[in-house]
Amino acid sequence: MKFGVLQFPGSNCDQDAYFAVQDVLGLPVEYLWHQDTDLKGSDVIIVPGGFSFGDYLRCGAIANFSPIMGAVKEFAAAGGLVVGICNGFQVLCEAHLLPGALVRNDGQFFVCKHVNLRVENAATLFTRGCTGGQILSIPVAHGEGKYVCDDSTLASLKEKKQIIFRYAEDHDNPNGSTDNIAGIANETFNVFGLMPHPERAADADLGSSDGLFLLKSLLQGIK
């Protein structure tokens, strides 16, 4: 099994994702530059956090037009697994691989801290190593992490159980996201986006190893 980590100008969490895959999971991983059109045999694509193209225009909007994203869209349409973290979540929404959008946090402040997440759907490839209702401590670091969508989209997400993570309580919601949403999947559950950073909680020395529940869930699910 091989992972591919996308790199855009301004990405700054690509190395964290690379480390989590190679040094924590012990799996092969390769960087994929934004001008590439070949996913180089990757079985899982990670769209990492950061400030792709400096977050000029809207977060993730310019990255959506990078050549590599054409390959990612084809990969996802064929059932390939794609994970977007923080800015990667924003990119996936801009690419219409996930519904809704991410906008400025309530209060207009950049937020960087650990938050408590509740597992809402433990029956996905991304969470099958978790239990429903489990609370995970995962850090966030974003200025535009408020998830928004219209009422019909929210109703559909709830009905189809596409809401994978919520901030555990209102006081854990760092950005004012609709319905405390922290992470969602697409209808076929092969594309997943979340604002918190599991790759930054993959080692107890980092303050939490709860991110391993997601990383190992993905590994277990693929196997």
Q: 13, 59, 86, 130: which one is catalytic?
A: 86
Give the strands of the sheet with 135-142, arranged side by side.
29-33, 3-7, 44-47, 81-85, 191-194, 181-185, 163-167, 111-119, 135-142
Could you give the CA distance from residue 99 to residue 35 in angstroms, rounded to a whole number?
A: 25
Could you give the CA distance from residue 162 to residue 172 in angstroms, rounded to a whole number?
A: 20
For residues 31 and 7, the answer to whether their CB atoms sit within 8 Å is yes
Task: Let me know the angle formed at the C-alpha of 197 by 193 and 202, rounded to the nearest 5 degrees.
Answer: 125
Could you give the CA distance from residue 56 to residue 62 in angstroms, rounded to a whole number?
A: 8
Tokens of 123: 């029956």
Q: Give the three-state DSSP class for 182.
A: strand
For residues 180 and 163, the answer to whether their CB atoms sit within 8 Å is no
Q: 34, 114, 142, 197: which one is catalytic?
A: 197
**Residue 199 a catalytic site member:** yes
**Residue 197 a catalytic site member:** yes
**Residue 59 a catalytic site member:** no
Catalytic residues: 86, 197, 199
